[in-house]
Amino acid sequence: MRKTFKANNYLYPQPVLVITSYDKDKNPDIMTAAWGGITDYNQISIALSNHQTTENIINNRYFSVSIGTADTVVSCDYVGLVSLKDDKEKINKSGFTIIESENNIPLIKELPLALECEAIEYSNEVLKAKILNVNCDESILSNGEIDPSKLNAIVYDPINHTYLSLGSIIGYAFKEGFKRQ
């Protein structure tokens, strides 16, 4: 027997994307988004409704998308609960520290992996952006490459509304399937 749940957005799991942007006066904002993903080699798309972050990105095309981590789960959830429109102290209370990339794009010191992005289009509440650069703190590298065991990324479970950490490697992509040939 199988059970059905009607039409629901039960894609599992979803990422924890932490978007950092500036308004026109360079005041930073940070928000969490789980409805997003890579839609081309150097393109990310995120479903963004009416937030301070959305206004910022429409006015100032450059922003970053960091990956939420286990160490920072409270801060990642906080910036998804509170809008800067409602609490001007949001960033001070968040536990995150704003730093800037060489491209003058705002980043979060506590999140070691970020995509520096430029908005291409915002329509029907979907933001499409070009990935300009991958910005990574050296602390999560092993032999010069990004090491997921050091990053400690979290994912979002949209069914149970929980954050989960990633497990260990269970297979090698583009290789395991050859065992069926």
Ligand X SMILES: Cc1cc2nc3c(=O)[nH]c(=O)nc-3n(C[C@H](O)[C@H](O)[C@H](O)COP(=O)(O)O)c2cc1C
d(CA 141, CA 138): 5
The type of residue at 2 is R
83 interacts with ligand X by CB under 6 A: yes
Among 28, 80, 106, 112, binds ligand X (CB under 6 A): 80
Measured from the CB of residue 7, what is the shortest distance to ligand X in angstroms?
A: 18
Distances (CA, A) of 24 to 36, 58, 163, 168: 25, 10, 33, 42
Among 9, 10, 42, 85, binds ligand X (CB under 6 A): 85
156 interacts with ligand X by CB under 6 A: yes
d(CA 105, CA 116): 7
For 19-49, the DSSP string reads EEEE-TT--EEEEEE-SEEEEETTEEEEE--
Phi, psi dihedrals of residue 89, rounded to the nearest 5°: -90, 5
47 interacts with ligand X by CB under 6 A: yes
Q: Segment near ligand X (CB under 6 A), from 32-40, 116-124, 147-155, 170-178?
A: 32-40
Among 18, 22, 28, 32, binds ligand X (CB under 6 A): 32
106 interacts with ligand X by CB under 6 A: no
Eight-state DSSP code of residue 60: S
141 interacts with ligand X by CB under 6 A: no
53 interacts with ligand X by CB under 6 A: yes
Among 18, 33, 108, 140, binds ligand X (CB under 6 A): 33
To which H or E segment does residue 55 belong? helix 52-59
Residues that bind ligand X (CB under 6 A): 29, 31-36, 47-49, 51-53, 77, 80-85, 156
